[in-house]
């Protein structure tokens, strides 16, 4: 099957789907395969930097979660936003830094980090372990899974 953009004659005549020949499907002149290979190479080049960023964010989360005084929050929902946002960012950075980790292991490890921080906070006199924090941790991990899943589905693309 000859696509409208594969030869020079149809390149001059078929520029939009309405102008394409009636017996051919319209195909945009993009090469998804080359774009995916180029993206994968750049991702691999930046992976050491992404690993450093991942561990820096992980250390920041540990510091903020284990320090004696809680992080200031004007409203009660801001604390939940910190929890969900922090674990969401850790999920994304863990995928970009370590893409071969299993999806369930990634989520369990990062959720276990949140549970561990809450457990340690329960022993500190100025900190409080809260069930809503665990719920926010779960929401952050879940939303990270969703974004990673959508990214993986979108990066597969189509070669039609």
Residue burial 130-145, b: 16+ Cβ < 10 Å; e: rest: beebeebbbbbbbbbb
Residue 124 lies in a domain: yes
pLDDT tens per residue across span 45-77: 889 999 999 999 999 999 988 888 877 777 778
Classify burial at 63, counting beta carbons within 10 Å of its beta carbon; exposed 0-12, middle 13-18, buried 19 or more: exposed
Residue 114 lies in a domain: yes
Give the residue numbers spanning the domain of 57. Answer: 46-156
* Euclidean distance between the first and the last CA atom of the chain, given in angstroms as a whole number: 12
Residue 55 lies in a domain: yes
Q: How many domains does the chain have?
A: 1
127, 78 Cβ separation under 8 angstroms: no
54, 97 Cβ separation under 8 angstroms: yes
pLDDT category, 130, cuts 50, 70, 90? confident
| Structure token digits, residue 57 | 């964010």
Residue 142 lies in a domain: yes
Per-residue pLDDT, 160: 44
Residue 13 lies in a domain: no
Residue 145 lies in a domain: yes
Residue 139 lies in a domain: yes
pLDDT category, 107, cuts 50, 70, 90? very high
Given the structure tokens 């020079």, which residue do they identify?
8
Residue 127 lies in a domain: yes
pTM: 0.69
SS3 content of the chain, % helix, strand, coil (to 5): 70, 0, 30
Taken in order 135, 139, 141, 142, is the CA torsion positive or negative? positive
Nearest-angstrom CA–CA distance, 84 and 67: 19
């Amino acid at each position: 099957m000859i696509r409208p953009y594969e030869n020079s004659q149809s390149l001059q005549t078929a520029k939009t789907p309405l102008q394409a020949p009636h017996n051919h499907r319209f195909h945009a002149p993009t090469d998804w395969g080359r774009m995916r290979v180029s993206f994968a190479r750049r991702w691999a080049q930046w992976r050491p930097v992404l690993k450093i960023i991942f561990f820096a964010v992980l250390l920041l989360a540990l510091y903020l979660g284990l320090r004696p005084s809680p992080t200031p929050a004007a409203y009660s929902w801001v604390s939940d936003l910190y929890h969900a946002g922090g674990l969401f960012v850790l999920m994304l950075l863990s995928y970009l830094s370590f893409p071969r980790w299993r999806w369930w292991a990634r989520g369990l490890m990062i959720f276990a980090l949140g549970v561990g921080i809450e457990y340690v906070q329960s022993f500190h006199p100025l900190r409080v372990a809260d069930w809503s924090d665990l719920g926010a941790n779960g929401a952050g991990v879940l939303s990270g899974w969703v974004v990673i899943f959508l990214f993986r589905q979108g990066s597969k693309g189509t070669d039609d």
